């Protein structure tokens, strides 16, 4: 048979859990207190009965005056003893009965005995005592026997009405305290559960809104629980990040359609003019079409490179690489682009061998150098250095180009992000180069630092553990 656990709301589950736990604790404490109290009370009753019997014997001894017993005084002592569950029979030295509880006050004795029996039956968890009698000699100050006293009782542990009433009151007090504690616990449990469940519910609703694509809402809720407060901030940050990604996605769609439409429109215009005979298909016209085709090819290649990197980005083929030679090869391959803009590339490279993924690090160097060339004005300078510092390999790219606005630096490694559209129109690219750079560096457990100032240049520092 398939059993399904019943699902409860968080606040109900917290209330039930807390209340159940506290009830168990209160019951345990109450039972422990009751058990300890009962034991102490039993000891008190036993000591009290022992003292009572001793006092009765002393009191009766004192009523033997001038060779005679004071019967009225003895009768009062005997009746008082009966009310305390002690039944006295006094005999003189010749074993004649002077005064007996059952003889002189039979009704009172039966009434008290019945009450004790009922009380002992009420205390069902106690061992029931049987009625017993003990005989004690009574001696005067000269140590002469003046009589005997027979004490009848239900042992040293028995309960009178006032004892049972006292225990009942104690149990009522303990029960009342327990009920009050449970009510207070329920109240506190409700407060605690609401304090936890309410923000969780708010976060859950916000997560549903995010799932539906609504990234504009933010959770405006302050919690005094650190973990809940961190969760709320995380959800708000997630919403902001998703909103940024959504804006980037929309911008990407617009940018890619624009980037593809412009050369396609140009190609279509040229071809239609040639087909219609308006333009002659001469070398100049065909070269113009070819340039647009190359532009399209470059855009598609960038997307293809990103897709290839995504599918293989978790793989690293580490090998011993001379970093200086690697950088110089990339510089040589890109010097043509730099010369077109009359850009001077200076290098200060230490000969360092390190275990790296040669192809991926080459991609990092290519992308950073290409960006430096792309965003450096004609006649500018690019400085590349590599060196060891604190057991790390550092590769620095510094230019005096157009720079990056301070508020945009934190976004430049985002996929498809470009600082502005006019820059992309002039320089090309769809904003994936630095994304690939950051991912490759992360794979090598390294970091990349960026310093830039608008219209003064940028500096990228790659920091890799020197293995």
Task: Report the alpha-carbon distance of residue 420 to residue 365 in Å, rounded.
Answer: 23
Query: For the domain 10-177, what is the CATH code?
Result: 3.30.450
Which residues partner with 393 through β-bridges? Answer: 388, 464
Q: What's the predicted TM-score (pTM) here? A: 0.47
Please provide the average confidence, as pLDDT, over all residues in the chain. Answer: 80
Q: What is the structure's pLDDT at 311? A: 61
Q: What is the structure's pLDDT at 208? A: 78
Q: What is the structure's pLDDT at 1? A: 42
pLDDT band at 461 (very low <50, low <70, confident <90, very high): very high
In this chain, the answer to whether the domains covering 10-177 and 215-309 adopt an identical fold is: no
Could you report the per-residue pLDDT of 84-136, keeping only the tens digit for each? 888 899 998 888 998 888 888 888 888 888 888 787 777 755 555 677 888 88
Average pLDDT estimate for 333-338:
88
Could you report the per-residue pLDDT of 388-406, keeping only the tens digit for each? 988 899 999 999 999 888 8
At residue 427, does pLDDT exceed 70?
A: no
| Domain chopping of the chain, boundaries | 10-177, 215-309, 313-465
Average pLDDT estimate for 72-86:
87
Could you report the per-residue pLDDT of 147-184, keeping only the tens digit for each? 899 988 877 677 777 777 777 787 788 788 878 888 88
Which residues partner with 387 through β-bridges? Answer: 394
Among 2-11, 12-21, 48-57, 417-426, name the most confident range: 48-57
Could you report the per-residue pLDDT of 224-246, keeping only the tens digit for each? 667 777 777 887 787 777 777 77
- Per DSSP, which regions of 402-446 are E strands? none
Task: Report the alpha-carbon distance of residue 278 to residue 78 in Å, rounded.
Answer: 144
pLDDT band at 259 (very low <50, low <70, confident <90, very high): low
Could you report the per-residue pLDDT of 264-280, keeping only the tens digit for each? 887 888 788 888 888 88
CATH of 215-309, picked from 1.10.3720.10, 1.10.287.130, 3.40.50.150, 3.40.50.11400, is 1.10.287.130
Number of helical (H) and strand (E) elements in the chain, helices listed first: 11, 13
> DSSP string of 216-263?
S-------SSHHHHHHHHHHHHHHHHHHHHHHHHHHHHHHHHHHHHHH
Q: Could you tell me where the DSSP H helices lie in 97-160?
A: 101-104, 106-122
Q: What is the structure's pLDDT at 51? A: 87
Average pLDDT estimate for 62-72:
86
CATH of 313-465, picked from 3.30.930.10, 3.60.15.10, 3.30.565.10, 3.90.1150.170, is 3.30.565.10
Range 356-374 burial, b when 16+ CB lie within 10 A, else e? bbeebbbbbbbbbbbbbbb
300: phi then psi, degrees, rounded to nearest 5:
-65, -40
Q: What is the structure's pLDDT at 420? A: 53
Q: What is the structure's pLDDT at 3? A: 43
Share of the chain above pLDDT 70, in %: 85
At residue 192, does pLDDT exceed 60?
A: yes
DSSP annotation of 213 reads: T
The residue with greater pLDDT, 35 or 345, is 345
Q: What is the structure's pLDDT at 424? A: 46
Q: What is the structure's pLDDT at 379? A: 92
């Amino acid at each position: 048979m398939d059993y399904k656990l019943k699902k409860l709301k968080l606040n109900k589950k917290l209330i039930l859990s807390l209340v159940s736990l506290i009830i168990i604790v209160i019951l345990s404490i109450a039972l422990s207190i009751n058990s300890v109290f009962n034991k102490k009370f039993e000891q008190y009753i036993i000591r009290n009965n022992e003292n009572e019997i001793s006092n009765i014997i002393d009191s009766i001894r004192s009523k033997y005056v001038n060779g005679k017993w004071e019967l009225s005084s003895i009768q009062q002592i005997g009746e008082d003893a009966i009310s305390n569950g002690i039944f006295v029979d006094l005999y003189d030295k010749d074993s004649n009965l002077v005064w007996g509880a059952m003889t002189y006050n039979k009704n009172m004795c039966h009434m008290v005995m019945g009450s004790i029996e009922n009380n002992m039956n009420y205390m069902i968890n106690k061992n029931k005592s049987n009625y017993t009698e003990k005989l004690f000699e009574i001696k005067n100050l000269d140590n002469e026997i003046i009589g005997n006293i027979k004490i009848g009782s239900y042992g040293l542990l028995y309960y009178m009405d006032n004892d049972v009433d006292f225990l009942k009151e104690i149990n009522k007090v303990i029960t009342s305290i327990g009920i009050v504690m449970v009510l207070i616990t329920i109240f506190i449990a409700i407060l605690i559960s609401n304090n936890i469940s309410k923000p969780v519910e708010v976060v859950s609703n916000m997560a549903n809104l995010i799932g539906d694509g609504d990234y504009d809402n933010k959770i405006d809720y302050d919690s005094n629980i650190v973990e809940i407060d961190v969760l709320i901030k995380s959800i708000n940050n997630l919403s902001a990040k998703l909103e940024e990604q959504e804006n980037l996605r929309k911008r990407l769609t617009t940018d890619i359609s624009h980037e593809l439409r412009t050369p396609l429109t140009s190609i279509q215009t040229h071809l239609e003019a040639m087909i219609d005979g308006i333009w002659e298909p001469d070398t100049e016209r065909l070269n113009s079409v070819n340039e647009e085709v190359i532009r399209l090819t470059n855009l598609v290649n960038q997307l293809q490179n990103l897709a290839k990197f995504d599918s293989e980005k978790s793989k690293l083929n580490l090998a011993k690489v001379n970093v200086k030679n690697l950088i110089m090869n990339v510089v040589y391959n890109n010097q043509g682009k730099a010369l077109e803009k009359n850009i001077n590339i200076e290098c200060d490279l230490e000969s360092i061998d390190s275990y790296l993924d040669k192809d991926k690090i080459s991609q990092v160097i290519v992308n950073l150098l290409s960006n430096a060339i792309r965003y450096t004005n004609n006649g500018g300078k690019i400085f590349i250095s590599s060196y060891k510092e604190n057991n790390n390999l550092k590769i620095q790219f510094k230019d005096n180009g157009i720079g990056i606005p301070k508020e945009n630096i934190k976004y430049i490694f985002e996929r498809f992000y470009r600082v502005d559209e006019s820059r992309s129109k002039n320089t090309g690219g769809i904003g994936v180069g630095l994304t690939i750079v950051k991912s490759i560096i992360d794979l090598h457990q390294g970091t990349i630092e960026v310093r830039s100032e608008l219209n003064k240049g940028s500096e990228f520092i790659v920091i890799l553990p020197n293995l």
